[in-house]
């Protein structure tokens, strides 16, 4: 999901949305860094079919949880921060760099709908 481009005229709700989206994105990136640390092949996987990608992610999450339940923890295997740095270097996704003109109108409507339902955590 794409945040709002900050051109200096964002509403409080839009700023709030960007903050929450950023926090959630960090958690998701950390989760994928853990998965890529355990299953290194994920770093080189390219799939075009969305349903196959979703199935793969679910499968890897299940395998990851089975490993954890059996005491196979990742603490000695990877550095999550390093994994995220490498991922961000290879795939930057800064809100400011994304061109909103190329984003589908339907996606913008969905984002605007979400903005109106997210609780405000920021103050003026």
What confidence tier does 1 reach under pLDDT thresholds 50, 70, 90? confident
Specify the pLDDT at position 63: 95
The pLDDT tens digits of the residues spanning 17-38 come to 999 999 999 999 999 888 988 8
Nearest one of 12, 5, 43 to 119, comparing CA atoms? 12
The total number of residues written for the chain in this structure? 124
Q: Please say whether the dihedral angle defined by the alpha carbons of residues 33, 34, 36 and 37, taken in this order, is positive or negative.
A: positive
The pLDDT tens digits of the residues spanning 57-67 come to 999 999 999 99
Q: Are 21 and 1 in contact (CB under 8 A)?
A: yes
For residue 16, how many other CB atoms are within 10 A of its CB? 18
The pLDDT tens digits of the residues spanning 43-93 come to 887 877 888 888 999 999 999 999 999 988 776 555 656 666 666 666 655
Specify the pLDDT at position 81: 63
Q: How many helices (H) and strands (E) does the chain have?
A: 4, 0
């Amino acid at each position: 999901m794409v945040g709002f481009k900050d051109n200096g005229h964002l509403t409080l709700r839009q700023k709030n949305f960007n903050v929450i989206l950023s926090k959630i994105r960090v958690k998701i990136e950390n989760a994928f860094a853990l998965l890529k640390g355990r299953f290194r092949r994920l770093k080189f996987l390219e799939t075009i079919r969305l349903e196959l990608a979703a199935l793969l992610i679910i499968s890897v999450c299940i395998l990851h949880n089975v490993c954890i339940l059996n005491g196979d923890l990742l603490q000695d295997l990877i550095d999550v921060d390093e994994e995220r740095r490498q991922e961000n270097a290879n795939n930057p996704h800064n809100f400011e760099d994304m061109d909103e003109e190329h984003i589908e109108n339907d996606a913008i409507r969905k984002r605007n709908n979400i903005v109106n339902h997210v609780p405000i955590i920021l103050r003026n």
